[in-house]
């Protein structure tokens, strides 16, 4: 099999059609169909189900696509690396929202001071989406607050963090409450899939407690403002509410006998080649005092 076969396979997956893939690659449709047939015959697997003239990836096809994307990416890195040795390059970094807002700008600035020839591209989303980006090779590596249990991902812990509960200054809750008492409050929370939300939901589940947030938002600042207006309480990363706490816009409520400490993580696919630039960036994060 050749890299050409793999590129054709990825194009068919992305376009969902042999005809569209052929147009995209400027190939004849029979050539694309033949390449897919040769792949299936060579590996002895069925990559697509053909139903009502549409193509659907089989489970084996999805697994094959995952490997194929990484192989193509490594090949492209080889090509670009050899052709542009010593010249400019690029890093694609993913980050969860907390790390992207508070930590990543400093890391990127430090990196560019020593690697001015390398362009850094950043994608900031919630932890679940970022993990998907790493799996799909849309980013070289990523920062996340979420719980990682995917065996295909390599995980490097690099910073200890804590989630805290906040309320409006005039909220009658005392400085410390038990989780059951707190659960009767209106909650204003980050969306499902965010690292902090997943951790707090897991804590509630472990104590057989259920809440239904009155607000859900991807914007931490919107949540903080809503809490400060007395519309409910929230559980957010300390670093993102630190300024609001210092200004007196919100107050901290400690949850009795509950620890919401967590570790920030750097993740990358186990099949990912870590270039010297990627290793340098990761070392900055491990050695930097945030």
What is the pLDDT, as a whole number, of residue 195? 83
Domain membership of residue 121 (yes or no) is: yes
- Point out the domain boundary residue: 46, 73, 100: 73
Rounded to whole angstroms, the Cα distance separating 229 from 157 reads: 36
pLDDT tens per residue, range 265-278? 999 999 888 888 99
Assess whether 269 and 151 both reside in one domain.
Answer: yes
Assess whether 110 and 192 both reside in one domain.
Answer: no
Assess whether 121 and 186 both reside in one domain.
Answer: no
Assess whether 139 and 167 both reside in one domain.
Answer: no
* Residue 85: pLDDT over 60: no
Domain membership of residue 82 (yes or no) is: no
Number of domains in the chain: 3
Assess whether 181 and 153 both reside in one domain.
Answer: no
Rounded to whole angstroms, the Cα distance separating 266 from 282 reads: 8
Q: pLDDT category, 110, cuts 50, 70, 90? A: very high
Assess whether 208 and 254 both reside in one domain.
Answer: yes
Assess whether 192 and 248 both reside in one domain.
Answer: yes
**Which CATH number do you get for residue 17?**
1.10.10.10
**Which CATH number do you get for residue 96?**
3.40.190.10
- Point out the domain boundary residue: 73, 104, 125: 73
Top-confidence range, 20-24, 128-132, 145-149, 229-233: 229-233
Tokens of 76: 């492209």
pLDDT tens per residue, range 211-264? 999 999 989 999 999 999 999 999 999 988 999 999 999 999 999 999 898 889
Strands (E), the chain: 48-51, 54-57, 89-95, 118-124, 141-144, 153-167, 176-177, 188-190, 215-217, 234-237, 251-255, 261-269
Domain membership of residue 112 (yes or no) is: yes
Assess whether 187 and 252 both reside in one domain.
Answer: yes
Q: pLDDT category, 58, cuts 50, 70, 90? A: very high
Domain boundaries, position 135: 89-159+263-287
**Sign of torsion over alpha carbons 21, 22, 26, 31:** positive
What is the pLDDT, as a whole number, of residue 241? 94
What is the pLDDT, as a whole number, of residue 81? 63
* Residue 87: pLDDT over 50: no
Domain membership of residue 237 (yes or no) is: yes
Assess whether 268 and 154 both reside in one domain.
Answer: yes
Assess whether 170 and 255 both reside in one domain.
Answer: yes
Domain membership of residue 84 (yes or no) is: no
Rounded to whole angstroms, the Cα distance separating 235 from 196 reads: 8
Assess whether 9 and 29 both reside in one domain.
Answer: yes
Domain membership of residue 83 (yes or no) is: no
Rounded to whole angstroms, the Cα distance separating 96 from 279 reads: 20
Domain membership of residue 218 (yes or no) is: yes
Assess whether 275 and 228 both reside in one domain.
Answer: no
Percent pLDDT > 90 in the chain is 70
pLDDT (average), residues 43-52: 88
Domain membership of residue 80 (yes or no) is: no
Tokens of 65: 């696509």
pLDDT tens per residue, range 154-208? 999 998 889 999 999 999 999 999 999 999 999 999 998 888 898 899 999 999 9
Rounded-to-10 torsion of CA 10, 15, 18, 19: -140
The pTM assigned to this predicted structure is 0.63
């Amino acid at each position: 099999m050749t890299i050409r076969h793999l590129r054709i396979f990825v194009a068919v997956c992305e376009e969902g059609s042999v005809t569209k893939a052929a147009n995209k690659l400027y190939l004849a449709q029979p050539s694309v169909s033949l390449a897919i047939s040769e792949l299936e015959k060579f590996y002895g697997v069925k990559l697509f189900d053909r139903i009502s003239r549409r193509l659907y990836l089989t489970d084996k096809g999805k697994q094959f696509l995952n490997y194929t994307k990484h192989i193509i990416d490594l090949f492209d890195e080889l090509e670009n690396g050899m052709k542009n040795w010593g010249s400019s390059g690029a890093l694609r970094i993913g980050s969860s929202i907390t790390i992207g807002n508070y930590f990543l700008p400093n890391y990127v600035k430090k990196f560019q001071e020593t690697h001015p020839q390398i362009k850094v591209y950043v994608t900031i989303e919630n932890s679940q989406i970022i993990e998907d980006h790493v799996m799909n090779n849309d980013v070289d590596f990523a920062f996340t607050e979420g719980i990682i249990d995917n065996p295909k991902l390599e995980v490097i812990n690099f910073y200890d963090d804590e989630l805290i509960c906040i309320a409006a200054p005039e909220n009658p809750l005392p400085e410390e409450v038990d989780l059951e008492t707190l659960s009767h409050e209106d909650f204003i929370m980050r969306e499902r899939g965010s690292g902090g939300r997943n951790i707090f939901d897991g804590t509630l589940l472990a104590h057989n407690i259920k809440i239904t947030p009155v607000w859900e938002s991807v914007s931490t600042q919107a949540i903080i403002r809503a809490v400060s207006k007395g519309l409910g309480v929230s559980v957010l990363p300390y670093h993102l509410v630190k300024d609001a706490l210092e200004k007196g816009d919100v107050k901290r409520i400690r949850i009795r006998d509950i620890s919401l400490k967590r570790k920030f993580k750097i993740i990358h696919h186990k099949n990912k080649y870590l270039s010297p630039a990627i290793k340098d960036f990761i070392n900055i994060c491990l050695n930097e005092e945030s």
